[in-house]
Amino acid sequence: MKKINCLVIDDEPLAIELMESYVNKTPFLELRGKCLSPFDAMSILNTEKIDLIFLDIQMPDMNGMDFSKTLSPEIKIIFTTAFKDYAFEGFRVNAVDYLLKPFNYQEFLKAANKAAERLSTSEEKKDNTYTNDFIFVKSEYKQIKINLNEVLYFEGLKDYIKIWVNTQPRPVLTLMSLKTLEHELPPHKFMRIHRSFIIALDKIESVERSQIIINKERITVAEQYKEKFQEFIEHKSFK
């Protein structure tokens, strides 16, 4: 089974400690962060692909229910709370499960398995979506077809993305975040290598130290993406 990257968000350190022990004994879960508030989690969510969040509800400043409504639908949520009154609202926001504290490892594992099934189904749907290798994006009041095989790279500019393709001298500009786009692209063809760049892997011309050359443009691989990119290079290299 593919590893599921998860976060634990809870304002009680003892609750985080218990959740960490449960995650660590579950082979298909990979703990990518422990956060005392949703605000602490935002920096992790901006730099890493998180599949699943174990999320407390009653927290100061921002409760977990409100925070869950700001997340991409790609991220699955399992609520963990001592208050059973939130159960109905939890299922309204399409949470995978709702764990009422105190819960044991058996209950935790049952919820984690349910999340794994949902994530697996989502991946299958995504694979089927990209059999035609194109997407449509809104630009200048039109829906423009983008052939993914022609894309060189995507460049993020705050709320906009420039889509650079090898058949046009100027990029297509669309209102979208790079984070949203990243979850929609086939991962075997594209990789995020910088906060502002997602590249087409088959369009890489050369790699010089920490820079990738695509169509004579130099794009730096940011520190947090170097390990993943190096794994890709090593996998494709002759020894």
Residues 55 and 119 in one domain: yes
For the chain, helix (H) and strand (E) counts, in that order, are 7, 15
Angle at 221 between CA 219 and CA 224, to 5 degrees: 150
* DSSP letter assigned to residue 190: E
Residues 166 and 200 in one domain: yes
Is the pLDDT assigned to residue 137 strictly greater than 70?
yes
Question: Could you list the residue range(s) of the whole structural domain that residue 171 is in?
Answer: 133-236
> What burial class does residue 33 get, using C-beta atoms within 10 Å of its C-beta: 0-12 exposed, 13-18 middle, 19+ buried?
middle
- More confidently predicted of 94 and 70: 70
Give the CATH number of the domain where residue 111 resides: 3.40.50.2300
Measure the CA–CA gap between 82 and 93, rounded to whole angstroms: 18
Whole-structure pTM value: 0.54
Residues 100 and 178 in one domain: no
Choose the weakest-confidence range: 143-152, 160-169, 180-189: 180-189
Residues 11 and 122 in one domain: yes
Task: Indicate the number of domains in the chain.
Answer: 2
For 46-79, what is each residue's pLDDT tens digit?
Answer: 888 899 999 999 888 888 888 888 888 789 999 9
Determine the longest span between alpha carbons in the chain, in angstroms: 59
Element (H, E) at 38: helix 38-47
Choose the weakest-confidence range: 21-35, 72-86, 121-135, 149-163: 121-135
Last residue of a domain, one of 102, 129, 156: 129
Neighbours of 221 (CB within 10 A): 21
Is the pLDDT assigned to residue 103 strictly greater than 90?
yes
Give the CATH number of the domain where residue 194 resides: 2.40.50.1020
For 196-233, what is each residue's pLDDT tens digit?
Answer: 999 999 999 999 988 999 998 999 999 999 888 988 88
3-class SS string, 138-166:
EECCEEEEEEHHHEEEEEEECCEEEEEEC
